[in-house]
DNA sequence: CTGAAAGCGCTTACAG
DNA sequence: CTGAAAGCGCTTACAG
């Protein structure tokens, strides 16, 4: 072994009295090498604490066995704040990668900037996972570019018709419908919808479409005045949105916020305006963040299965990398009943 | 440019009518190349969508401009659950890396297993950031091994005397002392401490030492019966620990839980036993997780500055990689007063 | 300021 | 089953 620095396959070859090619074969478990020499080489490798140089190996094989996760979030005053929803997805993605033997590179991107998405071009990663909301119309053109550059990627988000690349998302429409039906079943008739419904945010729009579908199915006319815009999923925005609605003199006996964070803000606005939730007004959200159950008023919400989502995301990306045909997939959404809707008696 | 596949520096050289060496120099911004040719080459590179192959470049330069983050957590039934404290650190670390031009590889490790920490040996990363609690005594020997293998690493955790490698941690002792003083100042005299104080968990022990110091300074004797073990930072464990204490017939007018999650569990145990917090019993935690402020009883706690922590971690690691002398550092801790301690009147 | 050449450490046809 | 050799795409002394 060379006096200092890492051992190379040549060092092992020397020790074992074989050629370097044989070492490389033995270490990759090739059955071409006799069991005896294979074992001998493996023992020496272990003793020398040899590790294959990934740069050399990847350069030669032309793939990196690494995936890159791009998290989009525009900067907040507090740097460290990440949307808790993506955070739980991150955990699942990391584990799924590990299970498949892939490493995971992670990078924060700002929607406003040009994406720094050259991981595949620079051979640092074999594919991209895109996470984070933002204006879909803006993102779309970049997605299109990625497709043209032949970049392997999957994104988390609404599955919309004719979209560039493939997406994994939750069934926002069914989820929105199910939770609205729940509210309707509770006898609520004036349910506010907090969330933008424009094209920039297809997931919110689908949730609203579910809201409308539930109303129609129940033979109740949707009152457009009950919908308020809210684009960013933050407590502040939710607070503001519902406060605006109430100021307009709109009466309300239910609130369906397009995300949990919006719901928490809306609940606060309600309280400030003198309404008691859930007695006077039922409140529900969407996402099922960890804090939804910890909130002072445990939140009834629609759960997105982040564990499954992460697994499916890496599975789809890997299929794509292997050259298989892949389609977008929609994951089920599930209503979680807690106290904020008033369905359960207070303890 | 070759008909298919990525462009290489040779393709650019051909287009520009210069040698490949010149292309390489120009693209790395070497002042050896005349401004004219440099500009010309950069234009062609852009047009060809050329990206330096990181594998080749790293192989040649022998460093990867990548850091690896090892997150330790033993598996939970729900795969996707990560301790929220580390999650907020993760955000900060990612951004700090990006600012320094480093990529970040992330990997989950289980304490029980052998660490898969060969990122540096395999040249995938230049250094390691270790995050996560677990039995310090077990971790110590692995840390020692890393030092012997000459691996660059920093870990988040208690800064303890004669420890292998370097650590960045919060000043647990001062934090524990400050919050105990706050409780004492509120007139509390029988303050339970929820958290293990053995060597396996130096951070909890330091917080307890702060608890003791505050008592001594106030001339109050510490009652060892007020301390209950709790190793894992979960709501369940905190609940159980305090319930045990109360069952033993110990009277209590305050609870200092060694973490926020423990505090939330303890609060529940208190309520179940018929005690009202904060009126009868003041409760405080440690960490300042996002959910501490969202909890039904907003938690008074000791804040660890995760943003700063992440920045210091990567800074120290980078210094080490550059070969500079580095020492462990202790970050300040800050008491955040909310409602659970009873210092503020209820609204 | 520029080019020809060596070499980073592997993997893998090719030949035996 | 094994070895000699080419080559992945760069960076960087070396020579001019």
pLDDT tens readout for residues A170-227: 999 999 999 999 999 999 999 999 999 998 889 999 999 999 999 999 999 999 999 9
pLDDT above 50: residue A12: yes
**B347 in any annotated domain:** no
How far is B313 from B167, CA to CA, in rounded Å? 8
**B212 in any annotated domain:** yes
Half-sphere exposure (CA, 13 Å, Cβ side) for B91? 23
Same domain? A107 vs A218 = no
**Structural domains in chain A (count):** 3
**A345 in any annotated domain:** no
Split at pLDDT 50, 70, 90, the class of A111 is low
Q: Which residues of chain A neighbour B107 with C-beta distances below 8 Å? A: 94, 98, 103-104
Q: Which nucleotide is nearest to B34 (CA to C1')?
A: C1
Range of B289's domain? Answer: 172-304
Same domain? A177 vs A300 = yes
Cα→Cα distances B344→A31, B83, B340, Å: 72, 29, 9
Domain of residue B292, CATH code: 3.40.50.2300
Contacts of A1 (CB under 8 A, 6+ apart): A7, A11, A14, A15, A48
Cα→Cα distances A114→A111, A138, A139, Å: 7, 11, 10
Split at pLDDT 50, 70, 90, the class of A104 is very high
State how far residue A274 is from chain B, nearest Cα, in angstroms: 14
Closest CA relative to residue A97, chosen from A143, A128, A120:
A128
pLDDT above 50: residue A3: no
Same domain? B231 vs B267 = yes
DSSP line for B19-77: -HHHHHHHHTT-TTS-HHHHHHHHHHHHHTT----HHHHHHHHT--SEEEEEEE----S
Q: Do B295 and A290 touch (CB under 8 A)?
A: no
Q: Is A296 in contact with B296 (CB distance < 8 Å)?
A: yes
pLDDT above 70: residue A264: yes
Contacts of B225 (CB under 8 A, 6+ apart): B248, B250
Range in A44-58, A184-198, A255-269 the model is least confident about: A44-58
Q: Identify the pLDDT of residue A73.
A: 75
Q: Which residue has the tokens 């003198």?
A: A274
* Nearest-by-CA chain A residue for B297: A296
A140 compared with B244, residue with greater pLDDT: B244
Q: Is B109 in contact with B75 (CB distance < 8 Å)?
A: no
Contacts of B284 (CB under 8 A, 6+ apart): B179, B182, B183, B254, B255, B256, B257, B263, B299, B300, B301, B302, B340, B341
**A60 in any annotated domain:** no
How far is A139 from A147, CA to CA, in rounded Å? 12
Q: What share of chain B is helix, strand, coil (3-state, %, to 5)?
A: 40, 15, 40
Same domain? B253 vs B199 = yes
Same domain? B271 vs B202 = yes
Same domain? B26 vs B128 = no
Q: Which nucleotide is nearest to B7 (CA to C1')?
A: D9
Question: Taking CA B252 as the corner, what is the angle to CA B251 and CA B255, rounded to the nearest 5 degrees?
Answer: 150
B68 compared with A132, residue with greater pLDDT: B68
Q: Do B59 and A56 touch (CB under 8 A)?
A: yes
Same domain? B163 vs B207 = no
Q: Do A310 and B149 touch (CB under 8 A)?
A: no
Which nucleotides of strand D come closer than 7 angstroms to any CB of the protein? 1-5, 7-13
Same domain? B148 vs B203 = no
How far is B209 from A305, CA to CA, in rounded Å? 42
Question: Please, is A68 exposed, middle or buried when counting C-beta atoms within 10 Å of its C-beta (0-12, 13-18, 19+)?
Answer: buried
What share of chain A in percent tops pLDDT 90?
Answer: 53
Residue A336 CB neighbours (<10 A): 16
Positive or negative torsion for Cα A207, A261, A232, A271: positive
**A201 in any annotated domain:** yes
Split at pLDDT 50, 70, 90, the class of A138 is confident
Q: Identify the pLDDT of residue A90.
A: 87
Q: Which nucleotide is nearest to A34 (CA to C1')?
A: D1
Report pLDDT digits (tens) over A297-340. Answer: 889 999 999 999 999 999 999 999 998 999 999 999 999 999 99
Q: Identify the pLDDT of residue A80.
A: 47
pLDDT tens for the 347 residues of chain B, in order: 333 467 888 999 988 888 899 999 998 887 777 888 888 898 898 988 889 999 999 999 988 899 999 988 766 655 546 677 888 888 889 889 988 989 999 988 776 666 767 888 889 999 999 998 777 877 888 888 889 888 999 999 989 888 899 999 999 999 999 999 999 999 999 999 999 999 888 999 999 999 999 999 999 999 999 999 998 888 889 999 999 999 999 999 999 999 999 999 999 999 999 998 899 999 999 999 888 887 778 899 999 999 999 999 999 999 999 989 999 999 999 999 999 988 764 43
DSSP tag of A88: H
How far is A13 from A34, CA to CA, in rounded Å? 15
**B342 in any annotated domain:** no
Cα→Cα distances A229→A40, A90, A208, A262, B167, Å: 68, 28, 11, 11, 47
Q: Identify the pLDDT of residue B6.
A: 79
In chain A the beta strands, taken as DSSP E runs, fall at 66-72, 103-109, 127-131, 153-156, 166-170, 191-194, 227-228, 254-257, 282-284, 301-304, 329-331, 333-336
How far is B335 from B286, CA to CA, in rounded Å? 9
Contacts of A232 (CB under 8 A, 6+ apart): none
Same domain? A188 vs A286 = yes
Q: Identify the pLDDT of residue A253.
A: 94
Q: Which of A55, A79, A295 sits opposite B123 (nearest CB)?
A: A55
Q: Identify the pLDDT of residue A74.
A: 67
User: Does residue A62 sit in helix, strand or coil?
Assistant: coil
Q: In this structure, what token pair is assigned to residue B7? A: 């462009």
How far is B63 from B125, CA to CA, in rounded Å? 8
User: Mean pLDDT score of chain A, rounded to an integer?
Assistant: 88
Which nucleotides of strand C come closer than 7 angstroms to any CB of the protein? 1-5, 7-13
Q: Do A105 and B107 touch (CB under 8 A)?
A: no
**Protein-strand C interface by C-beta, 7 A:** A 5-6, 8-10, 20-21, 24-25, 27-28, 50, 52-53, 56-57, 59-61; B 18-22, 25, 31-37, 56, 59-60, 62
Same domain? B298 vs B321 = no
Q: Which of A136-140, A175-179, A292-296: highest mean pLDDT?
A: A175-179
Q: Do B122 and A82 touch (CB under 8 A)?
A: no
Split at pLDDT 50, 70, 90, the class of A32 is confident
B281 CA vs C5 C1’ separation (Å): 78
A52 CA vs C8 C1’ separation (Å): 13
């Amino acid at each position: 072994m060379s006096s200092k620095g890492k051992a190379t396959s040549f060092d092992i070859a020397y020790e074992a009295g074989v050629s370097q090619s044989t070492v490389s074969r033995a270490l990759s478990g090739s059955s071409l090498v006799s069991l005896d020499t294979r074992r001998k080489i493996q023992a020496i490798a272990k003793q020398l604490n040899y590790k294959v140089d990934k740069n050399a190996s990847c350069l030669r094989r032309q793939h990196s066995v690494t995936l890159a996760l791009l998290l989009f979030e525009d900067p907040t005053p507090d740097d460290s704040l990440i949307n808790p929803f993506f955070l739980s997805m991150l955990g699942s993605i990391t584990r799924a990668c590990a299970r498949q033997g892939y490493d995971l590179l992670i990078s924060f991107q700002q929607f406003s900037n040009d994406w720094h998405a050259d991981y595949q071009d620079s051979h640092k990663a074999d594919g991209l996972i895109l996470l984070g909301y933002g204006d879909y119309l803006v993102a779309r053109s970049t997605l299109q570019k990625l497709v043209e550059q032949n970049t392997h990627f999957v994104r988390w988000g609404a599955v919309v018709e004719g979209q560039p690349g493939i997406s994994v998302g939750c069934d926002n429409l069914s989820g929105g419908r199910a939770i609205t039906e729940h509210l309707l079943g509770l006898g609520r008739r004036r349910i506010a919808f907090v969330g933008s419904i424009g094209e920039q945010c297809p997931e919110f729009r689908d949730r609203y479409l579910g809201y409308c579908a539930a109303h129609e199915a129940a033979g109740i006319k949707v009152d457009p005045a009950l919908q308020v815009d809210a684009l960013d999923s933050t407590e502040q925005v939710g607070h503001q949105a519902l406060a605006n609605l109430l100021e307009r003199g709109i009466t309300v006996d239910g609130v369906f916020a397009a995300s949990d964070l919006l719901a928490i803000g809306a609940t606060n606005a309600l309280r400030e305006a003198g309404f008691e939730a859930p007695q006077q007004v039922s409140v529900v959200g969407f996402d099922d963040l960890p804090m939804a159950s910890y909130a002072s008023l445990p939140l009834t919400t629609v759960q997105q299965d982040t564990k499954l989502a992460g697994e499916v995301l890496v599975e789809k990306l890997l299929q794509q990398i292997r050259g298989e045909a892949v389609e977008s997939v929609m994951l089920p959404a599930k209503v979680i009943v807690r106290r904020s809707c008033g369905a359960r008696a207070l303890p």
